[in-house]
Each structure stands twice: as C-alpha cells, then as structure tokens.
Amino acid sequence: MYWLSYMVIALIIGGLIMAWKTEVYLTQILVIVNLLIFMLVNITGFRYPGLRETVFNDLAGRAVYLQTGESLHTFLTLMFLHANYMHIAGNILVLFFIGIALEDRVGKGRVTMLFFTTGLIATLGQYSINWGSGTLNLGASGAVMGLMGAMVYLYPRDRIPMFLGPIFMPAVRVDLAVVVFVAMQTGIALLDPHGNIAHAAHFAGFAGGMFMALLMRGYITGQGAKTVEKDHTHLKKLVTNSELHRIYENINKADTPEIREAWVEHFMEKAVCPVCSRPLKGNRCDCGFRLRE
C-alpha cells in the first residue's frame, strides 16, 4: 500500500476519533474528512501523475474482493473517495443537509450506525449486481442515501433546507424532497443503465436506511419509551445555553414516545453539570450534583 493511502486512512480514523471526543456533529466531521481526502488525493495527484490511481487501487472497492477475501478494508475506505468535483459536491451537500437534520433528531450514535451500516448494505447491493467484477467502486452515495431513507421514514413531514436539483429551498418537506431525489435517480438509471454510476448501491442504501429506521423505531418504542416520561421538567435544571433550550423545547413538543426519547437522549449527550460544568455520569456528577433528588 502506498504512503498516501496510509495518510487517507489516518484522516478517516482521526476524524472519527475527533467526532467521538468532541461535541462536533459527526456529519460535520464526515463532510470535512471527505473534502480533505479529496483535496489531498487530487492535489498530490497533480504533482505526481499516477498517484491518484494508485490510491484508488489501494482503497476503492471491487466486487471480486468478496470472492478473494482481499482488501477488506475497502468496505470502509471506499466511502471516503470520490472520482471528481461533481461526485463529491453532490454527496457532501446532501450529507450535510440530511445528516445534520437527522443527527439533531436521533443523536450521534444512531447516525454513526446508520451511515456505516447502510454504506455496507449499499456496497453489497452493488457487488451483487457486479458479482466478480474488478471495476472500482467508490463514493459515499450509498451511505448518504441510507441517511435519506431513514430521515424520510422517521420524519417525513419535517421541513429542512435542501437542494432539489440545482434549486436551493430553505424549508422543504422531507418526503417531497426525497420523492423528487429518488425520481431523479430512477430517471438517470433508466436513461443510462450502463453508465459509471452505482445505481444499485444508491437504491440498496436507501432501502437499507428505511429498514434500519424501522428497527430503530421499534426498539425505541418497545424498550426506551417505557422509561421515558411525558413530563421532563426535571431536565430544565440542565438547560444552560440556547442549544439545550431549543432541544428541551423539542422534547416537550414531541408527540410520539420514540421522537421524545430521541430528543431526550440527544439532550443528555449535550448537557453538563450545572454546578461544575463537567460531563454527567448518568443522572449524577462527581461533584455531588444529582439530577433527581
């Protein structure tokens, strides 16, 4: 493996560690890491011709790897490589608008699970169509479509900023945006079935996201909702900034147990002890503070 490939892997691992060690959104880290890798690979490729293709050979996926057992790390690394400017621009724009909105609602942990699980589902879907092929597969499209599928299943009537084609709309219903986007994907697949776009990965990722959201909602309703009360006034003592105030309001406005539980979980991830400002350990802090007396 070439030295630049190791640098790409280091950026991926470093970004994921930073996402979990800080309060920064995972989605923001994913966008930044993808941009940094794209610039690193392409700028270095301009200086050293052929180096870009070497990195793709090291880190992009191939369907044949399922048969040979080689380069299994590519199931992760292929999601952080992009072929050109249009490829990465489309992915990071949708990732940013959908990912931030979803992470704000269900929390960093669930978005992490959704992104990487649906990315894997998307890759396997594409490989099943191109079984045994040595064609390179790369891009975050499948994982991004997975987040889109989860978002439309969980929050179809919410309004978020999105691009519908080339048009930016500051507040569009999720279900409308997704219908238009999927229709565009379907039209492209029908008009150019043999192009270099991994259509199977897109549709597999989207279906995987909806399925994962179904499991997520069932788990929350069956398990977490039993311990979530309708009255969350005890959390008010942890509201120490505008962000927590906004999340607290969303908890009180939630009209279903699963949405309310997701907001409570997100609130507790952001909250700190109001006495010493240290992270809470469950409902208490080492300084002696107790959320419930």
CB atoms within 10 A of CB 285: 19
**Which DSSP category does 290 fall into?**
B
The pLDDT-based confidence of 208 (bands split at 50, 70, 90) is very high
Number of folded domains in the chain? Answer: 2
Q: Same structural domain for residues 269 and 155?
A: no
Q: Same structural domain for residues 206 and 125?
A: yes
Q: Same structural domain for residues 167 and 234?
A: no
The pLDDT of residue 222: 44
Q: Same structural domain for residues 9 and 31?
A: yes
Q: Which amino acid is at 33?
A: V
Q: Same structural domain for residues 152 and 253?
A: no
For the record, the structure tokens of 109 come out as 């942990």
Share of the chain above pLDDT 90, in %: 40
Question: Is residue 230 predicted with pLDDT exceeding 80?
Answer: no
Q: Same structural domain for residues 79 and 209?
A: yes
- Across the range 132-142, mean pLDDT stands at 91
- Which of residues 276 and 290 earns the better pLDDT score? 276
Domain boundary among 173, 201, 221: 221
Helix (H) or strand (E) holding 219: helix 199-222
Q: Phi and psi for 137 in degrees, rounded to 5? A: -125, 130
CATH number at residue 126: 1.20.1540.10
Question: Is residue 226 predicted with pLDDT exceeding 50?
Answer: no
Helix (H) or strand (E) holding 259: helix 257-270
Q: Same structural domain for residues 161 and 241?
A: no
Which of 207, 211, 199 has its CA nearest to residue 139?
199
For the segment 255-268, what is each residue's pLDDT rounded down to a tens digit?
677 677 788 888 88
Q: Which domain holds residue 169?
A: 3-221
Q: Same structural domain for residues 118 and 181?
A: yes
The pLDDT of residue 146: 96
Q: Same structural domain for residues 46 and 166?
A: yes
Q: Same structural domain for residues 242 and 141?
A: no
Say which residues have a Cβ less than 8 Å from residue 70's Cβ, sequence separation at least 6: none
Q: Report yes or no: 43 and 14 within 8 Å, Cβ to Cβ.
A: no
**Which DSSP category does 241 fall into?**
S
Question: Is residue 288 predicted with pLDDT exceeding 90?
Answer: no
